[in-house]
Amino acid sequence: MTDAGTPFSARPFTALADVYDEIMADVEYDLWAEFVLRLATGRGYSGGPALDLGCGTGNSTAPFAARGLPVEGLDASPEMLAVARRKLPGVPFHDGDFGSFSLGREFDLVYSVFDSLNNVLTEESLLTACRNVHRHLAPGGCFVFDANTELAMRELWAGGKVEGWADDVYYSWRHEYDAETGLAYVEAYCSTADGSFVERHVERGYDAPTLTRLLEGAGFADVRVVLYPDGEPAGEDADRVWAVAVRP
């Protein structure tokens, strides 16, 4: 890293990997895992092979491994995966893109949390990703994921900014929404004792009808879009939704 006063520009999810766990220490990964499992077991999942899509540093993988479930992780960031492999040496992790990964096997559950799929920026690309997940699920297998809606993209943080300290890491993240393109931009500045950096991230929001249409178009059945933590149907005013679908 460079001097703290002159941050360098990094690609998304590269430099952030070294400080991600400190900044996200309060995220309720274990509760999310319980919710994923509740949705999946309600549709027949009984503890078979699972794939954590967009696993990052392994925080969303760890609760499944801790429960003794045969879980694997996949992410497009080698830097994030390097952290995950150090934390969970017994878990297989794969470097791959949502739309094109090919693992040569089927899973009983594929899940993705913390709006990872919002990083897919077009409906066409998300449809491709859903079709790829469908190919990797065994018949009867379940796909569960969360997503920020367009409402969340417009109103992500009060004042368009969030900042604070996580141990010795200072972070200041700014958010902008482009109504014309429907894309949200986050400029993530982080400063540590070793220096500072900025990553620029882009996401797209997806509402319940769009997710339902894309999942059904990818061949899924029993598609539901619900709210955390009670699982009731998502309304038009939802800012974050959870989708659950089954490969027939």
Measured distance CA(152)–CA(231) in Å, rounded: 19
pLDDT at res. 5: 59
pLDDT at res. 194: 86
Strand 221-226 vs strand 240-246: parallel, antiparallel, or unpaired?
antiparallel
Measured distance CA(222)–CA(176) in Å, rounded: 35
Domain ranges of the chain: 23-149+206-246, 152-203
The alpha-carbon radius of gyration of the chain (Å, integer) is 18
pLDDT by 10-residue block (mean), the chain, 248 residues: 65 96 96 98 98 98 98 98 98 98 98 98 98 98 98 85 94 95 96 94 97 98 98 96 98
Residue type at position 115: D
pLDDT at res. 200: 97
pLDDT at res. 2: 39
Query: In this structure, is the dihedral angle defined by the CA atoms of residues 109, 244, 94 and 20, taken in order, positive or negative?
Result: negative
Q: Which CATH superfamily is domain 23-149+206-246 in?
A: Vaccinia Virus protein VP39 (3.40.50.150)
pLDDT at res. 3: 43
Q: Does domain 152-203 have CATH number 1.10.1760?
A: no
What the block records as the tokens of 95 is 């470097």
pLDDT at res. 156: 81
pLDDT at res. 237: 93
Q: What is the DSSP string of 126-161?
A: HHHHHHHHHHHEEEEEEEEEEEE-HHHHHSSSGGGE
pTM: 0.95
β-sheet bridge partners, residue 148:
240
pLDDT at res. 7: 85
